[in-house]
Amino acid sequence: METSILEAREAVEAAGRVVVFTGAGISAESGVPTFRGSGGLWRSFRPEQLANPMAFSRDPRLVWEWYQWRRTLVRECAPNPGHRAVAEAQVRAAAQGSPDAVRVITQNVDGLHARALSEALAGKAHDPAMEPIELHGSLFRLTCSVCDYGQPRRAAVETSSRAALPRCPECGKLMRPAVVWFGEMLEPDVLDEAHAAAGSCDLCLVVGTSAVVEPAASLPRVAAAAGATVVEVNLEPTALTPIADIAVFGPAGETLPALLDGWAPDPAVG
């Protein structure tokens, strides 16, 4: 094994409270295209051109068509060994009485962490602290574009005409995907919860993110400033590599099992 993986595993072994902060790279091995990778384009649009409120008010059907394409693509994907290694560590921590010892903070909207967790739990009840903090929302929830109404939705959205697009049952306006768009603020409660978790962990694993989109990209810095060890897992160096204590260059689906398999945080540490 490479020295950096051994060092990272030692850092994991010594940790009592862990934050796993993830981006599109953790889902790449499940077949979900990354944002800034070559598979991120749909027709000739970049995500930034469609994932914004202006695009939705100009042409909601086009934006919905893109999201429906992504929802279909992601529904066909399954959690990979990286997601599973994290979820299984959470289940082991919970079995030792520490359901919040491994917190997942994700920028991904693909729901794969939540699916991995529910598979690892195999139907057992669980503490809400085990749920991933989904900073940028979820493809599988809809929210009203005007009022606060929201609902889960895994079924397909009809996009054949503007009239067919989903409407809010409360106010009648168009529903939209419950994801954070460019130019929009993150939900303050969600961001606060993520800050609290990052500021109180003693190990922050940063996995598969280019760490360029704020405020999410600052969370590992919050952890580092509070004294946590920062371990980065990525295929290549990123904007965050200079602040990482250990950088492991390799695919998340191989690296995370090497770091986490069989391990549970020691409640006496942290």
Sheet containing 229-234: order of strands = 133-134, 102-106, 18-22, 203-207, 229-234, 246-249
Among 90, 98, 138, 238, binds ligand OAD (CB under 6 A): 238
Among 142, 251, 264, 265, binds ligand OAD (CB under 6 A): 251
Residues 146, 114 contacting (CB under 8 angstroms): no
Q: Which is nearer to ligand OAD, 117 or 233 (CB)?
A: 233
Q: Which is nearer to ligand OAD, 111 or 208 (CB)?
A: 208
Among 29, 110, 134, 232, binds ligand OAD (CB under 6 A): 29
104: nearest Cα among 17, 217, 212: 17
- Say whether 136 is catalytic: yes
Q: What is the dihedral of CA 208, 210, 211, 213, to 10 degrees?
A: -120
Instruction: Please tell me what DSSP assigns to residue 215.
Output: T
Among 41, 226, 235, 239, binds ligand OAD (CB under 6 A): 235
Q: Which is nearer to ligand OAD, 43 or 125 (CB)?
A: 43
We find the least distance from the C-beta atom of residue 27 to ligand OAD, in angstroms, to be 9
Q: Tokens for 259?
A: 């770091």
Q: Which is nearer to ligand OAD, 41 or 156 (CB)?
A: 41
- Distance (Å, rounded) from C-alpha 205 to C-alpha 191? 18
Decide: is 90 part of the binding site for ligand OAD (CB under 6 A): no
Among 4, 36, 150, 218, binds ligand OAD (CB under 6 A): 36
Helix axes 252-260, 3-13, angle to 10 degrees: 50
Decide: is 138 part of the binding site for ligand OAD (CB under 6 A): no
Among 148, 189, 214, 236, binds ligand OAD (CB under 6 A): 236
Measured at the alpha carbon of residue 120, what is the angle toward residues 260 and 138, in degrees to the nearest 5?
Answer: 95
- Distance (Å, rounded) from C-alpha 45 to C-alpha 33? 14
Decide: is 30 part of the binding site for ligand OAD (CB under 6 A): no
Q: Which is nearer to ligand OAD, 229 or 234 (CB)?
A: 234
119's CB contacts (< 8 A; 6+ apart) are: 79, 84, 87
Q: What residues from 193 to 212 belong to the interface with ligand OAD (CB under 6 A)?
A: 208-210
Both ends of the chain: CA-CA distance in Å?
27
Please give the residue whose beta carbon sits closest to ligand OAD in the complex.
25
- The catalytic residue positions are 136
Give the footprint of ligand OAD on this chain (CB under 6 A). Answer: 23-25, 28-29, 34-37, 47, 51, 107, 136, 180, 208-210, 213, 233-236, 238, 251-252
